[in-house]
Each structure stands twice: as structure tokens, then as C-alpha cells.
Amino acid sequence: MTAASDEGAAAGGAAGPAPDPDEAQRAIEYCYDQGWSDGLPLVPASKPLLDAFLATTDKDPDEIIGSLEQVGRDVDVRTAAINAAMAGCKPEYFPVVLAAFEALMRERAARGGGFQSTSGPAPLIVVNGPIRKELGFNTAGGAFGPGFRPNMTIPRAIGLIVRNAFGVHPHVLEQATQGVPGRWNICIAENEEESPWEPFAENGGVTGGVSAVSATLTRTMEFVDNRHTPNPEDVLRDFQDTIGRIGSLIFPQTSVALVLCPEHAQMFAAAGLAKADVQNWLIERSGRLGREFRVMGKENVARPGFQGEYEGDEAFHKILSGPKQIPVIVAGAKNAAISMVVRIFGEWSGTAVPVVEKK
């Protein structure tokens, strides 16, 4: 499938003879030459394509939708639309891009130094509601991609906005030491159909099955493969162990998202556990003894807070301070009991932003 075969008409192009590949290549190279690309080919955006994007929202094209104060740059709706078009989004994805960008820019970590940081964090975007099916998001296997246009192009649009509209370029204002694989590729559509619990957007304040997007920054993720035990507590202990890994801990408190596969989520639910029960079980137990931090030169982590003192070798140091530090999402296929522990960069407010389509 190619963009041209099904999208030319929507973009204002006429359905007609096959497009000219040589001309398309020239346009792609032109975009590279301008320094606009993240390394992959861009869809060259034209006025008719931009108009198709702008037609999906009631927002004024001049409305400022985000600012990176420290670099003195703003993003308006028009610029966001051009970047979304270049990322390969369809026009009808644009309300989701706007919601994702708003959700991300509500996060202190993103407005602060996140995009410039040596840790090179990646946006983690979570989509809920009927928009998932309407736009053809992948809600099942391979939740972290690739293979599905909305899941891949929407986070890429965010990356292009950061690069082009905020002017945060690698090796200059962007100082990632190594960065995160798939840095601009992570967009999960929650598997609401196979989740035993309320949609994630409800935890972020958007109820009633309204389509909504939540977003944060993540530093990495690690799988927990536990498909052999019938005992939910064994599985929780497995999560506890992975969450408590010291390598990723630098502060007294941390924050992780649990992206549970349907099988793990259903196992917990069948044992009578609500999301909050899973969270509380792990909040109570995730952490290490002081000496386990000390032998790695990280006794500064084992403090009650930034101002506190080292709690001692035998004190158990909890690393999650509350449910906000461990949001729970259900994603992926119900074909194996494999889940992901996602390391949050900073803290996730968890706020969900409704997707607003043109009335």
C-alpha cells in the first residue's frame, strides 16, 4: 500500500494516472536538503494537503498550541499540521496529533529540558476511545509497532514538531547521549476490548468513552515474560523485581508505567484485583535494601527525599511513592503473557486530553 494509492484524492491530488516517481523523489530530496527530516523520507506538504489537515479542526491556524520557552519558539496549529503531513499522517489523524501534543506539553518534563536532555527520552502516547477503530489504530499484537500508519506517523509528527518548530536538533540543542530506540515511534492504542479494567483515559480524567490521548516521556522499557505460573502473586513479584532494578534509578523516587498484556491483566482481574490493587501491591514492595544501593555507589537514592539522609544498609527503600508513579495500561495481543515495564522520564501527571474533531 502506498500513500499515493489511497490518499492522493484526500490531499487534493486527482485520481488519475500513476504519480511520477521521479518528481516524488526530487521533492523528497528537497526536504532532506532543507534539514527538515528526522532521517527518514518526508511526505512533501503542499497547500492543498495543509488545507485538508486544517479542515479537520475548529482551531484557528494561528493558535499557539505549545511553547518551548527556553528556546523562544512557539508552535501554531498550521505549523503542527505541516509537520504532521510531512510525518505521513492522514488529515483525519490531525485531531489526535493535536491532543497528543497538548497532553505531552502539559508535562513538566517535556516543557522543561526533556527534549534537550542527555537521556534522550521518547514520547509514550496512549490513545483511548472509538477514535482507535475509526482511524485504524493497531489495538492488538505488536502494540509498540511497527506496521500501522496512525501508530507510527502520529508520534513521528511530534518528533518533527520538536525538530522543526522548536528547532531542537541532534548534537546542538538536543544532547542525547544515546537516546531511546524508537524515540519518535511509540503510540499505543489501548486494548480496551480485552482489558478487564476501565480505559486508561478514565484514570486521566476523561470518562464516558470519549476518545482521548495521554502522553509522557520515557527513557526505556523492559519486558517481563511470565507465562508459566498460575499464581498472580508470582507475576507481581516478577514485576517488582524488574521495577526495582537499580541501573535506571538516580533519584529517591521513580515512576514506571506498567503496560500489561491482556493475559496478565485478566489474570489479575480474575483474582479479584482492580488496577489500584495491582498498583498498591507494587508500591508497597518495589525497591531494595539500602546496602544494595550502597554497593553500587548509589546510596543517595536510598533517602526519603532529596533533602533526606541515607536510610541505612538494612532499611528497605521504596521507590514508588503512590499510584501516580505507576500508571497501568493494557496493550498487545492475548497470545502470550509478556508485559512491559516502561521507565518514565520525570513524573507523569497522567492527564488525558479529549480528541476534538471538527463539529
Binding region for another protein (CB under 8 A): 27, 30-31, 34, 36, 44-48, 50, 69-76, 79, 82-83, 85-86, 112-114, 116-118, 160, 164-165, 167, 171-176
Q: How far is the CB of 304 from another protein (least distance, A)?
A: 18
Neighbours of 282 (CB within 10 A): 25
C-alpha–C-alpha distance, residues 113 and 289, integer Å: 31
C-alpha–C-alpha distance, residues 329 and 257, integer Å: 7
Give whole-number Cα distances, 19 to 14, 24, 111, 192, 323, in Å.
10, 8, 41, 39, 52
Query: Toward another protein, which CB reaches closer, 1 or 15?
Result: 15
Q: How far is the CB of 78 from another protein (least distance, A)?
A: 8
Give whole-number Cα distances, 218 to 29, 124, 221, 282, in Å.
32, 6, 8, 19
Contact 343, 220 (CB under 8 A): yes
Q: How far is the CB of 145 from another protein (least distance, A)?
A: 23
What single-letter DSSP state applies at residue 162?
I
Q: How far is the CB of 36 from another protein (least distance, A)?
A: 5
Q: How far is the CB of 176 from another protein (least distance, A)?
A: 7
In three-state secondary structure terms, 227 is: coil
Q: How far is the CB of 349 from another protein (least distance, A)?
A: 16
C-alpha–C-alpha distance, residues 139 and 217, integer Å: 21
Query: Toward another protein, which CB reaches closer, 80 or 235?
Result: 80
Query: Toward another protein, which CB reaches closer, 276 or 296?
Result: 296
Closest CA to 326 of 210, 236, 213, 225: 236
Query: Toward another protein, which CB reaches closer, 28 or 338?
Result: 28
Q: How far is the CB of 117 from another protein (least distance, A)?
A: 5
Give whole-number Cα distances, 202 to 167, 199, 222, 322, 356, in Å.
34, 6, 25, 18, 16
Query: Toward another protein, which CB reaches closer, 107 or 263?
Result: 107
Q: How far is CA 344 from the centre of its chain?
A: 10
Query: Toward another protein, which CB reaches closer, 169 or 227?
Result: 169
Q: How far is the CB of 249 from another protein (least distance, A)?
A: 15
Contact 355, 96 (CB under 8 A): yes
In three-state secondary structure terms, 71 is: helix
The residue count for the chain = 359
Q: How far is the CB of 287 from another protein (least distance, A)?
A: 22
Query: Toward another protein, which CB reaches closer, 26 or 227?
Result: 26
Query: Toward another protein, which CB reaches closer, 164 or 279?
Result: 164
In three-state secondary structure terms, 12 is: coil
Burial class (CB in 10 A: 0-12, 13-18, 19+), 177: exposed
Query: Toward another protein, which CB reaches closer, 251 or 316?
Result: 251
